[in-house]
Structure 1
Amino acid sequence: MDYVRKCQPRNHWPALFVHYPLVVRYSISKEFNALEFSLTDSVLIEGLEVETVVGVYDWERTIDQRLVVDLEMAWDNRIPGRSDNVADALDYAAVSEQVNVCLKQLQPQLLERGAEVLAAELQDVFGISWLRLTLRKPGAVPTAQSVGVRIERGVR
């Protein structure tokens, strides 16, 4: 069973913790048979590039354009951290391939649509309870490096 609670920082903690609540996840684990404490873990995939049809203009619907995806996904890394076995971890390659396939098949007009569908699919396929997803389209505005959307879905 997992429990999550927010702990208010104590006055004697280092200054780093004074302004930020600490999220502590503790669980009673049958495998380790102990009450364990850990900070909320994440798995990151940053700068994942996907070439697909994206955009609202007619000319955009005839060409592939580059999208860049950044993901932060809540994942309990204690078991793979102890076992050193890839089967216990969130498979980066499988997540990356799912992102690629999803966006290529979807061919969204809006980045917002691409982000929503992608987030739902990743949560469904991999059992990810919470994620933060950034979807950017470089070169969409000539005077900007990229434009994009960032969403958070689920419960951490």
Structure 2
Amino acid sequence: MDIVFVNQLQIDTVIGVYEWEKSIKQTLVIDLQLATDIRTAAAGDDLAHTIDYAVVCEKVQQLVQAKPLELIETVAENIANLLLTEFPAKAVMVRVGKPSAVKAAATVGVEIRRGQW
């Protein structure tokens, strides 16, 4: 299985359970892995036969910024569902980090895997 990946996609959005978080934007740092077969794309040097990571980033950004949420767990699930339904991925890994959540930590977050690894 081949992997198309995106590392450290930074998206500013309203996220959090505390009242002070609901009135500000915070940066989420997102890593993605999409499992797919890239052999046809590589053989023909043709973007149409693979997953366009620029389109992935654009759609993920639109999704994350569409409405305020409280939990990064919800963000991760929403992204996984988007990737599995809109792209030819057999499985996905989504990691959502929230660097500003815990002062003593560089970042905290969740990582989920969905689909058939």
Normalising by structure 1, report the TM-score.
0.72
**Larger relative strand fraction:** 1
Q: What stretches of structure 1 of length at least 5 have no aligned partner?
A: 1-39
Q: Tell me how far 1:127 sits from its aligned partner.
A: 3.2
Q: Tell me how far 1:154 sits from its aligned partner.
A: 0.6
Could you say which structure has the larger radius of gyration? 1
Match among 16, 22, 25 for residue 61 of structure 1: 22
Match among 104, 109, 113 for residue 143 of structure 1: 104
**Larger RCO (CA under 8 A, 6+ residues apart):** 2
Q: What stretches of structure 2 of length at least 5 have no aligned partner?
A: none
1:73-101: CA deviations, max 9, x gaps?
10101011111111222011110011100
- Residue of structure 2 in register with 1:127 after alignment: 88
2-structure distance, mates of 1:83, 1:134: 31
**Larger relative helix fraction:** 2
Q: Post-superposition, which runs of at least 4 consecutive aligned residues in structure 1 deviate over 3 A?
A: none
Letter in 2 for 1:88: H
Letter in 1 for 2:33: E
Instruction: Tell me if the contact between 1:106 and 1:114 (Cα under 8 Å) persists in the aligned partners.
Output: no
Structure 2 counterpart SS, 1:124: helix
Match among 93, 107, 112 for residue 73 of structure 2: 112
- Residue of structure 2 in register with 1:74 after alignment: 35
Instruction: Tell me if the contact between 2:36 and 2:88 (Cα under 8 Å) persists in the aligned partners.
Output: no
Letter in 2 for 1:121: L
Letter in 2 for 1:68: V
